[in-house]
Amino acid sequence: MPKALFAMGCFWGSEAAFRQVPGVTATTVGYAGGHTANPTYQDVCTGRTGHAEVVEVEYDAARVSYRDLLHVFWENHDPTTLNRQGPDVGTQYRSAIYPLDLEQRVEAEASKRKEEASGRHRRPLVTEIAAPGPFWRAEEYHQQYLEKRGQAACHVPTR
């Protein structure tokens, strides 16, 4: 099964958004885009590891496309706020797409251009498209955090 990697603020809400998509077969929250090996949540929260909170999405490409997942990404956070989503502030909450191959990179860049041209945003997009480096799985208590607590989302995106 193919995978995709997205950073869109709090990974609890990101994971919850993707788990609702038909064709998504698994999600894992973790850290990517940084320079420290095997970071912990406490390490990432310092802002010194360079990591973003991310959700790794495994999906059935016969049921949902990477393009569809990009749509979920754009719809479920504010891509115009630098290092912030709702009440969460810090570089670990940045907006980023981490393509896992050349095809995903091409799709991600086209998707960002389309989103920029859509006129839906009053401010410029700050979403980065970058190589993720290693993906580090977050601690077990973070996995499916909102589902375990009966919550639907961390916060409502604002535009």
CA proximity to 53, closest of 20, 95, 18, 2? 95
Contacts of 106 (CB under 8 A, 6+ apart): none
Q: Catalytic: 10?
A: yes
CA dist 70 and 147 (Å) reads: 22
Catalytic, out of 7, 10, 54, 72: 10
Amino acid at 131: A
DSSP assignment of 4-28 equals EEEEES-HHHHHHHHHTSTTEEEEE
Identity at 47, one-letter amino acid code: G
The set of catalytic residues is 10
